[in-house]
Structure 1
Amino acid sequence: MKKLFFILTLTICFDCFSQENEKTEKAAVESVVNQFFESLEKQDTVLLKEVAFMEGQIWTVNNAVSPARHRMRFFKDDLKTFQSKNSYHEEAFSMDVKIHEGMAMAWVPYEFRLNGEFSHCGVDVFTLIKKDDAWKIINISYTIDNEGCDELKIN
């Protein structure tokens, strides 16, 4: 009976540790995504380089035009646009993070403002990998939508 009690106690402890570790990892991924938004708003190239691989890709699905347009660029291409006089603000409505074995995905409905004015809404999908005990963004795919923004706020 003592052995059974000991094994049961160990199992519960390992499960608690696992849940805490998962919460910590999700918080770390959320922090990197939020730092990406901060780098965009502050046009901070140093911060962008800290949270994203410059060889990583950014994919756009522009649903605001017909037919929808797709475009790809690299993070390093965005470094040039950070010297603009425009102000950028992206507000995340929510963030759903999934993690598996050193890879993470964050699904982030958002609203984007350019120079304080509404520009568009959509969904960002961040793909991150863990390297040297740090999460870094390797890919962002996002939609550009002018309709359905209220639904994104509640999902």
Structure 2
Amino acid sequence: MKRPYEQATRHRGDEYEEVLWATADSEYLERYAKAMFSSYEYIMRQRRNRMALDYDKFCARIRKLRTPSFGAILVVDANDAGLYTYRERMLRGFVRMQAEAHGIELAGEKIDQTVKQTMGVPSSLSRGYYASEPPPGIHWDRERRKDDDSDDQ
């Protein structure tokens, strides 16, 4: 797993490593370049002292990661030319570990934490909201005693 990673990043500067990390930042095994670029922007916000590539240069780096001289890490889907995936799935995990080792948090497709999540629940009985109740057949201590007293008489 180490050899393709080193082929892609050795003697090429940090930009190839950052691009490579962006390719592994998802729960999905296949991704479009636009989604990877979004991950790249997130990674670059964590590396404040580095200049980010623009979208065209980023895509050029992605295309180079398909060539043997760059480890042939990525392959293109046969049915969709814009969809990339890893040649070896284990390599994706290795790339993720390298990013974590460099202090980069890979967020994946997390819910945007800046947006307040709310749930629409009707608040009245007339609209279908019912308070929780124990299922039928469940007896509380007092109810059981009351029933037991009535049986004795």
Q: What TM-score does the superposition give when structure 2 sets the normalisation length? A: 0.25
Larger Rg over CA atoms? 2
Greater percentage in helix: 2
Larger RCO (alpha carbons 8 Å, 6+ apart): 2
1 or 2, which has the higher strand percentage?
1
